[in-house]
Amino acid sequence: MAKPPNSISRSSSMPRSNEGMRLIFSAVVGVMLGYLFGISFPTVNITKLHFPSSIISYIEDRNSGITTQTLLNHAWASANSRKKNNTDSKSDEIPKIYVPTNPKGAERLPPGIVVSETDLYPRRLWGDPSEDLTSEPRYLVTFTVGIGQKANIDAAVKKFSDKFTIMLFHYDGRTTEWDEFEWSKRAIHVSVRKQTKWWYAKRFLHPDIVAKYDYIFIWDEDLGVEHFNAEKYIELVRKHGLEISQPGLEPDRGLTWQMTKRRGDREVHKFVEIMATVFSRDAWRCVWHMIQNDLVHGWGLDFALRKCVEPAHEKIGVVDAQWIVHQAVPSLGNQGKSDNGRAPWEGVRARCRKEWGIFQTRLADAEKAYYLEQGITPPNSTAV
Domains present along the chain, CATH in parentheses? 29-85 (no CATH), 137-373 (3.90.550.10)
**Residues ≥6 apart with Cβ < 8 Å to 6:** none
Q: How confident is the model at residue 9, as a pLDDT? A: 45
The pLDDT tens digits of the residues spanning 126-150 come to 999 999 999 999 999 999 999 999 9
Contact 144, 220 (CB under 8 A): yes
Q: How confident is the model at residue 186, as a pLDDT? A: 94
The model's pTM: 0.72
Q: C-alpha angle 131/136/142, rounded to 5°? A: 135
For the ranges 28-37, 38-47, 135-144, 244-253, which has the lowest average pLDDT? 38-47
Give the closest residue to 322 by CA, choosing from 171, 159, 125, 114: 159
Annotate 20-81 with DSSP letters as a single string: HHHHHHHHHHHHHHHHHHHHH-TT--GGG----HHHHHHHH-TT----HHHHHHHHHHHHHH
The pLDDT tens digits of the residues spanning 260-296 come to 555 555 667 666 667 799 999 999 999 999 999 999 9
| Model confidence band, residue 328 (pLDDT cutoffs 50, 70, 90) | confident
Is the confidence at residue 57, as pLDDT, over 60? no
Chain centroid to CA 231: how far? 33
Contact 330, 189 (CB under 8 A): no
What is d(CA 97, CA 248) in angstroms, rounded to the nearest whole number?
53
The pLDDT tens digits of the residues spanning 8-19 come to 444 444 555 666
Is the confidence at residue 93, as pLDDT, over 60? yes
Mean pLDDT of 53-81: 54
Give the closest residue to 144 by CA, choosing from 191, 98, 203, 205: 191
Q: How confident is the model at residue 148, as a pLDDT? A: 92
Q: How confident is the model at residue 299, as a pLDDT? A: 93
Contact 325, 224 (CB under 8 A): yes
The pLDDT tens digits of the residues spanning 194-217 come to 999 999 999 999 999 999 999 999
Tell me phi and psi for residue 269, to 5 degrees: -135, 165
Q: How many C-beta atoms surround the C-beta of residue 30 within 10 A?
A: 11
What is d(CA 361, CA 357) in angstroms, rounded to the nearest whole number?
6
For the ranges 73-77, 333-337, 348-352, which has the lowest average pLDDT? 73-77
The three-class DSSP label of residue 315 is helix
